[in-house]
Each structure stands twice: as C-alpha cells, then as structure tokens.
Structure 1
Amino acid sequence: MSTIADPKAPRPSRPGPSRRTTRGNFELYGWVFMRGSGVILIVLIFGHLFVNLMVGEGISAIDFGFVAGKWASPFWQVWDLLMLWLAMLHGTNGVRTIINDYAEKDTTRLVLKIALYTASVLVITLGTLVIFTFDPCPPNSPADLLPSFCTA
C-alpha cells in the first residue's frame, strides 16, 4: 500500500543555488514594469490603429508613401519608437518569466534566456535604425526606382 504525501507539506527545494535569494527586488520591478508598460502600450497601439485605419482613407491608403510621410515627422518617429521598445521589452519580460517558471535545468534556462535577449536586442536595434534612418528618397538613386512623390 502506498501513501499519498500531505498536500499542505512544504515542497522540497530544487538542487543547486537558490534563485530566490539572488533576484532581490528585480521580480517586483519586472511586475510593476509589466503593469505600467501594458497601460502605455494600450494607448500607443490604439492611437496607432486609429491614425492608420480610421483617419483618412483607411487601410487602402497604407503604403510606402503613407509610412514615408508619417516617419517624416519626429512625433511619429518617437511614437513608433516607444511602441517598438515597450512592446519588445514587455514581451521579453513576459517570456523571461515563462522561462523561469518552466525551464527546470539551469543550463536550459541560460540558453533560452541568451537566445531571448539576443533576439530582443537585435529587433530593438534594427527597428530603431529603420525608424531613424528611413529615407524614401535616397540621394543619387535612379529616378525609375524612386517612388512617385520623390523629386529626382
């Protein structure tokens, strides 16, 4: 006959270094960041959707020229940059939490986090470069390759 363990008994700790003592207030700050960034992201995303879909001609007007005109304004560059950064950091923090909860081996956790952080830094860096270096009318380009609104 087998016995069932008491469900109210404390669980034995995992082998290896304790993760709870090394994190300090980082998890608290991560939790607060998720709530704050979530609220700001709601405003940024619905503002983005409203301007892109409701104002003007709707989705049929979104093309290369629309994006080029929008990113000609520093306001929209900063808006889209904030949306990119907050969305990526918010998502990265969420996936980091999932990795901490479900990856049992320290090596697996480390590899997954390195892949996550590498991908996040890459997307944030490339997205920031695109937003601030985007030029729909590059100088010395052949006129037949330029959009119609560029003066050759």
Structure 2
Amino acid sequence: MAMPTTPSVPAPRTPRRLRGRTNTELYAWMFMRVSGVLLVVLIFGHLFVNLMVGDGINALDFAFVAGKWASPFWQIWDLMMLWLAMIHGTNGLRTIINDYAERDQLRFWLKVGLYTATTVTIVLGTLVIFTFDPCPPDAAAELLPSFCPAP
C-alpha cells in the first residue's frame, strides 16, 4: 500500500515591510523598558522637589524655576526628563502607527508628522532650558530671584 502524499504548501510570505529588518524592534522594546524606569525616577524626583521640599506648591513661581535652572544639575535633570519622555512617547506612538495604519502611504505620513512634532518639541524644549534668562531686564524686582543683581 502506498503512503498518501501531502500536497506541498508554500511557506507563508513575510510582509514587505518586515523583510530585511535588523534588531531595531528589539532595541526599541529594550529602550521602552529602560527609559520607563528612568522616567519614573526622574518624574518622582521632579515632583518631590517641586511639591514637597520647602513651601511646596506655594513656592512654585518664576523665581523658583529661575533658581532651579540656575543650577546645571537641574538643567540636565529636566533635559533628560524632556528627551526621555518625548522619545519614549514617540516610540510608543510609532508602534501604534505600525500596528493600526494598514496602508504604507498613510503609515509613512503619520510617522513623518510624529517625528516632525517630536523634533520640534525636543529642539524648542532644549533651547528653553539652556537659554532661559533668570534675570530678564524688564522684570519686576519682586519677581526676580535673590541672586539677580538689582536693576
């Protein structure tokens, strides 16, 4: 008795957008985990200093921010928080776009908009942090931090 032969079934095709990929998705996945942990530390540190130390929320004003950003430590802290939050969120939205946008052209334009918005926000935020003038010449004296020279 002859054994029945099974018909040959072609191997499933890999979608065009997944061919030739490197480990980008693995690195993006690992980045999300690491940046998530770092963001928790940065955000809770930010909230603790702004809301619990000193007079708490009553102390939050221009002088408080000016005094804080006079220190390179807090500039770097806030810069890391900004960059990590923006890149973390962008990576999450990129994943959602890849999962739900079915047409290649729509996916492309959604990502262009996402990356453009992210780049503009990161550049403007970085400029604000590093070009912030805590002693503007036209500010009222009672609003200036104590380290500013008297006008």
| Count of aligned positions | 137
Q: Find the partner of 1:34 among 26, 32, 35.
A: 32
Following superposition, the deviation at residue 23 of structure 1 comes to 2.7
Indicate whether 1:74 and 2:89 are aligned. Answer: no
- Check 1:96–1:59 CA distance in 2 against 1; reply closer, same or farther (3 A cut): same
CA deviation after TM superposition for structure 1 residue 13, in Å: 5.8
Structure 1 partner of 2:6: none
Aligned partner of residue 19 in structure 2, secondary structure: helix
Q: Which runs of 5+ in 1 are unaligned?
A: 1-11
Pairwise mapping of residues 1-80 of structure 1 onto structure 2 (< 5 A)? Answer: 18-80=16-78
**CA distance in 1: counterparts of 2:109 and 2:141, whole angstroms:** 44
Choose between structure 1 and 2 for higher RCO, CA contacts under 8 A separated by at least 6 residues.
Answer: 2
The answer to whether the aligner puts 1:134 opposite 2:148 as a matched pair is: no
Root-mean-square deviation (CA, aligned residues, Å) is 1.9
TM-score, L = length of structure 1: 0.83
CA contact (8 A) 1:137 1:147 kept: no
Query: Which residues of 2 match residues 46-125 of structure 1 at below 5 A?
Result: 46-125=44-123
Change (3 A) 1:143 1:45: closer
Q: Do the aligned partners of residues 146 and 58 (structure 1) sit closer, same or farther apart at CA in structure 2, a change above 3 Å counting?
A: closer
Q: Tell me, which stretches of 5 or more residues in structure 2 are unaligned?
A: 1-11
Q: 1:24 deviation in Å? A: 1.7
Using structure 2 for the length normalisation, give the TM-score: 0.84
Letter in 2 for 1:85: W
Q: CA deviation at 1:144?
A: 4.6
